Structure 1
């Protein structure tokens, strides 16, 4: 299909709707209520944009409706849909929609999907989630489609709305499309998104590598913890466009890196991203403004057999023959995990930005300090929007955040 005239928009532009996925279960693990996070997202979206809530089945749908009614919101103003999504992150497999500013037409770009590199494209879960994008497109009245055989997830694609995309090179080339060269991957992205250029950041954060890669530094700096889950390499955990010429990039100071082995591992990757970005320009040849965003303090949790996140983690034990990629054995009935913590995984929509925060009573005050710093930065780069931050640890245990849990559809006319 000829997509001349269509444009891939920035998330900061006007939107028609936001779709979010409601968790299959109420608790990610003991004490961490996923429904409470979902309720806060709905409460803040309500009145700003049309809301779609995707539920696995009627039972989950009714649970969501009951919880939302208890908050005093009119559920008749929210559209509930049924679609089995074993992963609560429609950002990655929901509809990526382009807009034609002159005709008001919308266009779906349809990708292949292999469950973050964990399965083949013909695995039942991969096929189910690949088909979700067309399901979502139909919900919002999009019937024009351009398809590609590229494997890619929405969380690893950031757009400035004026012909530029940011993505992680290691993810898009080495992990998802190793049968293609970098130039072939780039050319195909340019074709299906009508882009002028792609900014390739070398690596994702260390935290966001494959959850089965092996052990990571724990609370005492020793290799005795694990990633609770991960998207296996997404840009929206570390770097975002906040307008067409401004980029928010996670940053770790020398002092932080000296205090934390985990921060030290992440600093090297984020510094490499900065080296790329500081030399990049937009399509007019002007450099981007780069705003540095803090990285959350590590917060570790203990999960056990019977916790939903633990049981989900163990599902691949048989396929991997009881061994992680680094050769270490699968953990036993108890494991210390690091949720996917990030201040960059916020959602931008009409009039509001919904961000993540982490402090609760009993945690170090440094956590609270960073929460406040991140909130103030968002207020500075979004002066015309309301900024709210909600505690998302229950959601982060699944390997992503608010941005991952939602998928925006642009308005039909952005002129």
Structure 2
């Protein structure tokens, strides 16, 4: 205790001895009221002017560009079949900002872009110097106001709660520089935010309601949930939050065991794997039928989790007091591959805290989802799995999902793309893009 603190403590103890008990009770009541006031009010007061009037638009609103994680030293080339189909489908619909770690050794030729239908004015290469590929979570989160001005949320990135090590801390510092670099290149401001807010953890309906993943609490352990919720609502310019429970089993935290012999790689429960708004009042929810519940232990987990999320959605309303329309969509048929841990890889897993030994046989599960789709100007890129490279969309679960989306988005062109190469790494097409809304001068 400092000398100043001791003097205050002494003064207070003397004051207590010489003061009537009734006055002490009144003083305690005043202190309690002040504490309660600051607990409830400070989240509204701090930086209240920073993002006043700015909000995160729904993805079906008009976009000026789409930012895409394109190539890094370690990632990007592995996903070329998916990326090329995405670029070819997006050509002519929206300007593309392609993030590349280095233009020196990763830059494709103009012939590459011409081959996917992109002219020289259809895209911009953005060199980051940093290995950012999964742009939904690492990229800029754009917000706008009613006058059409846009800004970027300056949220920190903690590598999915993996920051308590030198590599993680370095990534966090790089992320702040990278966001600053992008905002400066666009000539727009940054709104400071002291919450971790990965892009895959929320979804908005364009009318003041936001769906939130329960893992946001794990990413922001230093904030009580009520305070965290108010901070998220303020950052995104929303008025009502709907907290959902656990995500799909195929999206575990890191590379970890799901159940029995099944292992997977993921973020721990991102929303864009199992629930999405389709309009202001309609929600798409991944669903396991009674019959599918018997297919595997993975299906049983999803069966229970999605019913819990359904109950939450069923018992909530939009800002007008209207019940949400919930459309149940299928899970893709589970996709796995068998893998035997070898002598070389076993120590690497163990260094990361993964309990696998040489000779162990596991089944790795892909984070496949129909809800990890992309919406942009007049176009939807929809996951499909039932063909060798792309589904024809006429039968099975691919066809069922296609018909649901055609009914909901009759004016959009829908292109089905197999994102399996991304799914093996715990993400999908939606995970590598971030939309930039239209702005006005």
TM-score scaled by structure 2?
A: 0.80
Change (3 A) 1:285 1:362: closer
Q: Which residue of 2 aligns with 1:13?
A: 61
2:164 to 104, 111, 120: 120
Q: Map of 1:334-345 to 2, 5 A cutoff?
A: 336-345=363-372
8 Å Cα contact 1:297-1:366 kept in structure 2 = no
Aligned CA distance change for structure 1 residues 46 and 362 (closer, same or farther; 3 Å): closer
Larger Rg: 2
**How many residues align structurally?**
390
1:10-159 to 2 correspondences below 5 Å: 10-24=58-72, 34-59=79-104, 61-63=106-108, 65-101=110-146, 103-120=147-164, 123-143=169-189, 145-159=190-204
Q: Which has the higher contact order (CA 8 A, sep 6+)?
A: 1
Tell me which residue corresponds to 1:186. Answer: 229
Counterparts of 2:400 and 2:288, CA distance in 1: 13
Query: What CA distance in whole angstroms lies between the structure 2 residues aligned with 1:17 and 1:160?
Result: 20
Partner Cα separation in structure 1 for residue 311 and residue 283 of structure 2: 13
| 2:337 and 2:364 in contact (8 A); partners too | yes
Shift of 1:265: 0.7
Q: How many Å apart are 1:119 and its aligned residue?
A: 2.4
- Asked whether the equivalents of residues 345 and 356 of structure 1 are also in contact (C-alpha less than 8 Å), the reply is yes
Normalized per residue, the structure richer in helix is: 2
- Please, what TM-score do these two structures have when normalized by structure 1? 0.85
| Unmatched runs of 5 consecutive residues or more in structure 1 | 217-222
Name the CA distance, whole Å, in 2 between partners of 1:129 and 1:316: 26
More displaced 10-residue stretch of structure 1: 87-96 or 270-279: 87-96
Cα displacement string for residues 101-159 of structure 1 (whole angstroms, at most 9, x for unaligned residues):
2x22112222121101122396112332344333333344422x221221120111101
Residues 383/139 of structure 1: CA separation in 2 closer, same or farther (3 Å cut): farther
Paired with 1:193 and 1:137, the residues of 2 have a C-alpha distance of: 17
Structure 1 pair 17–72 and aligned structure 2 pair: CA distance change class (3 A): closer
Any stretches of 5+ residues in structure 2 without a counterpart? 1-46
Helix, strand or coil: the match of 1:213?
Answer: strand
Question: Does the C-alpha gap of structure 1 residues 360 and 267 become closer, same or farther in structure 2, counting only changes over 3 Å?
Answer: same
* Separation (CA, whole Å) in 2 of partners of 1:209 and 1:393: 17
- After TM superposition, give the deviation of residue 76 of structure 1 in Å: 4.2
CA RMSD of aligned residues (A): 3.1
After TM superposition, list the pairs within 5 Å mapping 1:6-405 onto structure 2. 6-24=54-72, 34-59=79-104, 61-63=106-108, 65-101=110-146, 103-120=147-164, 123-143=169-189, 145-169=190-214, 171-173=215-217, 175-216=218-259, 223-227=260-264, 229-302=265-338, 317-320=350-353, 324=354, 328-329=355-356, 336-361=363-388, 369-405=396-432
Distance 1:9 1:317 in 2: 43
